[in-house]
Amino acid sequence: MVVLQGTIPFEIIAEHKITMWFLIYHLITPCFVFSLTEEGNKGYGPVFEEQPIDTIYPEESSDGQVSMNCRARAIPFPTYRWKLNNWDIDLTKDRYSMVGGRLIINNPEKSRDAGKYVCVVSNIFGTVRSSEATLSFGYLDPFPPEERYEVKVREGVGAVLLCEPPYHYPDDLSYRWLLNEFPVFIALDKRRFVSQTNGNLYIANVEASDKGNYSCFVSSPSITKSVFSKFIPLIPQSDRAKVYPADIKVKFKDTYALLGQNVTLECFALGNPVPELRWSKYLEPMPATAEISMSGAVLKIFNIQYEDEGLYECEAENYKGKDKHQARVYVQASPEWVEHINDTEKDIGSDLYWPCVATGKPIPTIRWLKNGASFRKGELRMQSLSFDDAGMYQCIAENMHGIIYANAELKIVASPPTFELNPMKKKILAAKGGRVIIECKPKAAPKPKFSWSKGTELLVNGSRIRIWDDGSLEIINITKLDEGRYTCFAENNRGKANSTGVLEMTEATRITLAPLNVDVTVGENATMQCIASHDPTLDLTFIWSLNGFVIDFEKEHEHYERNVMIKSNGELLIKNVQLRHAGRYTCTAQTIVDNSSASADLVVRGPPGPPGGIRVEEIRDTAVALTWSRGTDNHSPISKYTIQSKTFLSEEWKDAKTEPSDIEGNMESATVIDLIPWMEYEFRIIATNTLGTGEPSMPSQRIRTEGAPPNVAPSDVGGGGGSNRELTITWMPLSREYHYGNNFGYIVAFKPFGEKEWRRVTVTNPEIGRYVHKDESMPPSTQYQVKVKAFNNKGDGPFSLTAVIYSAQDAPTEIPTDVSVKVLSSSEMSVSWHHVSDKSVEGYQIRYWAAHDKEAAAQRVQVSNQEYSTKLENLKPNTRYHVDVSAFNSAGYGPPSRTIDIITRKAPPSQRPRIISSVRSGSRYIITWDHVKAMSNESAVEGYKVLYRPDGQHEGKLFSTGKHTIEVPVPSDGEYVVEVRAHSEGGDGEVAQIKISGAAAGVPTLLLVLVVPALGVLACSGF
């Protein structure tokens, strides 16, 4: 075979040791240059394995270099060069270095190095260009140093804090806001929102708790840098809260998205109460991949598709008013290959049509490169190919959103016919009366002319014999006379060749017992018979198919089984027949020569299939109309339909109440009644016949019933108590299913007992079940009548039953008497007092604080009204404390007692006893230790405490002594621990330990462990 790849230098021909005969032929035919070596045949042009990608280099980076990757495989090994903005890069400069095809730029500079890079790869077979990659320089400037102005806003009014991010690149910033200090970020909720479009902070209505200093925190993920602005003081101005209608301030714009991308739309409104946000798509259902987050302010559409294009609407509403905003989402697409070029080998003189088709929006344009240079536009067709047409081709599809490359090598070949790689079959079998095609496929370029002979007879096209364009010979209605030797001759302008095979006739395969139609019910078994005759010299196999698809007996062994015990019998057994097994079964008896088929139908009767095409119409507050189309009855008439519904309150499908109550099998519409107003529903339909109940239909589109005024009153209305001059009213909030409409809330009515006029207030939070009315003129413990009802945007519901409650009582006025304080140790003291006579007192509060601290820093301990004393713990040693006691109830705290000053003891000795000996004397151990000396700021040692306990336990026997020695019993079994600590009026000091055992006498190892005084252990021991 001759392969030509462009023009090959004469030196290469000489190097490959071309024979003298061919060299003479080459000189005679200068228009051709040939390469016959094995290496030449195995070579190929560059194929990219890695191409450069868009890169962002941080201007503040300390790396000092940036690299663009490029790697290709080729034989022979390729060479690489680079272009910047279509100009060749001088790789001899010190600023550049190359590792393989990888370009390294040292000390990159924006003015010189920013732009579009292309890697160009070449070898003797051709040249290819990589896709373009952009090198850009990322930066994020700091915020300006000027102070931000304070923002004063009346409570209840909305506010917008401007971020005004600094200059930056790229535009992929994320925004958060700091409150008062780093890293305290504000939490976002229904009332507060940070736009990721401009970074501004939006507060629907300002509350007193919003007071503080705010800073916009900006991060650039591309260059991993963050900056934050000067703090903006937000000062809420106290005012009687007013209500304001919804006012949308964050408005998404017309958006162009690329197919498959994730799209984010933002919408946020100011208003008091906080507006509720709702999203919809105009005249169409929302995309299945849409997700609403950030309390309704963000709509995300994942993996957007063309059908998601359309007009989107955000609606904000509170009971004062509503606002709407619309904008369009357009879906376009980068180029994507429908059909692209691949490496191709063509005969010399042949024609080439190289299909290269891409889809995209807008429709991409197509252009071509040959060996890296511009070649053509549009489709590529070439006639009468010559060796000059060989090379590396690139098809490029591009639109405004991107560019894609398809690379391929075109080889032009020329050779005389040869059957070496694909000779004719030596033996060809054909069935009697059948058809045979004898292939003739030599390798040749250009395409050869074909002729055939049987023995010495030259064959020509006739009624039974036909020679195809590709050289194959077709014979139909085979008889015994067709047996013999057949030879195919192939010839082109470079030579000729032939190949011979022998044709033998076999007996035809016939179905002698065909399958019959079968009618069964779901769950029964069915048998399909199939027996065939065939040539005894050949093997026979049976293939069964259902509706044109071959049955896989291994995968379907639970239902399909065939008879393999009897030769020439392909009987099929279908076990436990299901609806999906119905259809046309075909038995094919097959040998390597021919086949025969026969078919029969299996009818399966069973429960109905699922209804389809469910539509929800005439949506009202408690009813909707449903229409559907009947599904398959599976050969048994449908007797009735059942409609089921589901809400977000439960995942369980429940039978719905309908009109008519019994839906007959010939109906395709019904009305669902007794629905909950303003509730989201899905519906499905199930069909039934005499053979059972079928599978449910696909759920309908989710709908929301119309709203209606509430018809349920809140329960458990009550209250009372609270702080001084307050009336606390409570109730059980209604669950979502009883809201019946948007802008749900409560109206609370109350009046003093005996008065005629009711005072009303509105609570707009549907989850709150408490209202506190403050009135400085309100008498304590006054009887009130209260009632509560629900409301929504459709009207008011009924009032609850009237309840009687009492306003808050006055705080105690008496002062606890006989307050006394006793110091117990360096860290504890006890406080006692006499109770006041006021029966409303719920308990007592003890305050204590160090003399050097302010009274505002006092710590507090509260006890019930049953207590007369309490213990104060964790005090500082040798410190003066102030202590007072006051009574309290739900209305507040009474006046405190007189302040008592008292000083805690000095701290216990910090030195632990040093155990100097442990001697066994008969049945006892004598333990001796050094005397502990207290420091000047520590309490004097009054004696020693010794705890004798089993090892591993916390309790034991406690001894007290004023000596430096003690005797303890020898343990009867196991090991015991002896703990020694000094005791003082300031408490117990640190501990020394020793382990002793009942083993032979000796001096045990001293285990001295420094521990915190175990006061609890000593207390449990009864000391």
- Contact between 208 and 237 under an 8 Å Cβ cutoff? The reply is no
Predicted confidence (pLDDT) at residue 26 exceeds the cutoff of 70: no
pLDDT at 565: 62
Q: Distances in Å between the alpha carbon of 237 and those of 180, 186, 773?
A: 19, 20, 22
Residues of the chain with pLDDT > 90, as a percent, come to 67
- Within 10 angstroms of residue 978's Cβ, the number of other Cβ atoms is 23
Q: Distances in Å between the alpha carbon of 961 and those of 942, 981, 988, 1008?
A: 9, 11, 13, 20
Predicted confidence (pLDDT) at residue 860 exceeds the cutoff of 90: yes
Predicted confidence (pLDDT) at residue 697 exceeds the cutoff of 90: yes
pLDDT at 241: 62
Helix (H) or strand (E) holding 1015: helix 1015-1020
Predicted confidence (pLDDT) at residue 15 exceeds the cutoff of 80: no
Give the C-alpha separation, 227 to 246, whole Å: 33
Predicted confidence (pLDDT) at residue 599 exceeds the cutoff of 90: yes
- Contact between 636 and 716 under an 8 Å Cβ cutoff? The reply is no
Beta-bridge mates of residue 569: 531
- Which of 190-204, 242-256, 556-570 is predicted least confidently? 556-570
Beta-bridge mates of residue 305: none
Strand ranges in 31-132 using DSSP code E only, listed in sequence order:
44-50, 55-58, 65-68, 71-75, 79-84, 87-88, 96-99, 102-106, 115-123, 126-129
pLDDT, averaged across the chain: 88
Q: Which residues contact 611 (CB under 8 A, 6 or more apart)?
A: 628, 629, 630, 631, 641, 685, 686, 687, 697
| pLDDT digits 0-9 by tens, 488-497 | 999 998 899 9
Closest to 733 in 3D by CA, of 707, 704, 767, 699: 767
Give the C-alpha separation, 555 to 722, whole Å: 73
- Contact between 434 and 596 under an 8 Å Cβ cutoff? The reply is no
Tell me phi and psi for residue 274, to 5 degrees: -60, 125
Q: What is the mean pLDDT of residues 69-91?
A: 93
Strand ranges in 781-858 using DSSP code E only, listed in sequence order:
783-792, 795-796, 803-806, 817-823, 829-834, 843-850
Give the C-alpha separation, 960 to 981, whole Å: 10
pLDDT at 13: 33
- Contact between 302 and 291 under an 8 Å Cβ cutoff? The reply is yes
Predicted confidence (pLDDT) at residue 1014 exceeds the cutoff of 80: no
pLDDT at 738: 93
Task: Indicate the pTM of the whole model.
Answer: 0.51
- Contact between 902 and 872 under an 8 Å Cβ cutoff? The reply is no
pLDDT at 70: 95
pLDDT at 1019: 33
CA angle 978, 983, 987 (to 5 degrees): 115
Give the C-alpha separation, 554 to 586, whole Å: 18
pLDDT at 1007: 37
pLDDT at 1021: 36
**SS3 state of residue 28:** helix
Closest to 956 in 3D by CA, of 996, 926, 1009: 996
Q: Distances in Å between the alpha carbon of 516 and those of 45, 511, 533?
A: 61, 13, 18
Tell me phi and psi for residue 72, to 5 degrees: -140, 150
3-state DSSP of 901-968 = EEECCCECCCCCCCEEEEEEECCEEEEEECCCCCCCCECCEEEEEEEEEECCCCCCEEEEECCCEEEE
Residue 172 DSSP one-character state: -
Tell me phi and psi for residue 38, to 5 degrees: -65, -40
| pLDDT digits 0-9 by tens, 396-455 | 999 999 999 999 999 999 999 999 989 999 999 999 999 999 999 999 988 899 999 999
Rounded to a whole number of angstroms, the CA Rg of the chain reads: 48
The number of residues in the chain equals 1023
Instruction: Give the distance, in angstroms, between the CA of residue 989 and the centroid of all CA atoms in the same chain.
Output: 58
Alpha-carbon dihedral sign for residues 33, 38, 39, 42: positive
Give the C-alpha separation, 315 to 465, whole Å: 77
Give the C-alpha separation, 347 to 446, whole Å: 5
**SS3 state of residue 451:** strand
**SS3 state of residue 978:** strand
Query: Quick one: tokens of 400?
Result: 């405004």
pLDDT at 41: 53
Q: Distances in Å between the alpha carbon of 589 and those of 431, 476, 597, 599, 614?
A: 14, 20, 6, 12, 46
- Within 10 angstroms of residue 387's Cβ, the number of other Cβ atoms is 21
Give the C-alpha separation, 357 to 920, whole Å: 102
Residue 736 DSSP one-character state: G
Greatest pairwise CA separation for the chain in angstroms: 141
| pLDDT digits 0-9 by tens, 863-921 | 999 999 999 999 999 999 999 999 998 778 899 999 999 999 988 888 889 888 888 88
Q: What is the mean pLDDT of residues 175-194?
A: 89
Give the C-alpha separation, 815 to 818, whole Å: 10
Predicted confidence (pLDDT) at residue 272 exceeds the cutoff of 90: no
Give the C-alpha separation, 309 to 638, whole Å: 40
Q: Which residues contact 578 (CB under 8 A, 6 or more apart)?
A: 522, 559, 604, 606
3-state DSSP of 352-403 = EEECCEEEEECCCEEEEEECCEEEEECCEEECCCCHHHCEEEEEEEEECCEE
Q: What is the mean pLDDT of residues 27-50?
A: 56
Closest to 102 in 3D by CA, of 127, 73, 80, 133: 80
- Within 10 angstroms of residue 238's Cβ, the number of other Cβ atoms is 8
Predicted confidence (pLDDT) at residue 529 exceeds the cutoff of 90: yes
CA angle 345, 346, 351 (to 5 degrees): 145
Predicted confidence (pLDDT) at residue 2 exceeds the cutoff of 60: no
Query: Quick one: tokens of 444?
Result: 């040749």
Beta-bridge mates of residue 880: 903
pLDDT at 981: 92
Give the C-alpha separation, 620 to 392, whole Å: 68
pLDDT at 999: 56
Give the C-alpha separation, 191 to 477, whole Å: 87
Phi-psi region of 100 (alpha: psi -120 to 50; beta: other; left: phi over 0): left
Closest to 249 in 3D by CA, of 192, 294, 293: 192
Phi-psi region of 618 (alpha: psi -120 to 50; beta: other; left: phi over 0): left
Closest to 437 in 3D by CA, of 470, 415, 404, 460: 470
Tell me phi and psi for residue 373, to 5 degrees: -110, 150
pLDDT at 655: 95
- The label of the residue with tokens 């015990």 reads 565
DSSP states of 816-838 as a string? Answer: -EEEEEEE-SSS-EEEEEEPPS-
Give the C-alpha separation, 925 to 105, whole Å: 83
Query: Which pairing describes strands 549-550 and 612-617: parallel, antiparallel, or unpaired?
Result: unpaired
Predicted confidence (pLDDT) at residue 526 exceeds the cutoff of 70: yes
Give the C-alpha separation, 738 to 647, whole Å: 13
Give the C-alpha separation, 645 to 703, whole Å: 11
Instruction: Give the distance, in angstroms, between the CA of residue 596 and the centroid of all CA atoms in the same chain.
Output: 54
Give the C-alpha separation, 133 to 767, whole Å: 55
| pLDDT digits 0-9 by tens, 169-184 | 998 899 999 988 888 8
Cis omega (within 30 of 0) on the bond before 273?
yes
For the chain, the distance separating the N- and C-terminal CA atoms, rounded to the nearest angstrom, is: 110
pLDDT at 937: 86
Give the C-alpha separation, 773 to 768, whole Å: 15
- The label of the residue with tokens 């950030």 reads 294
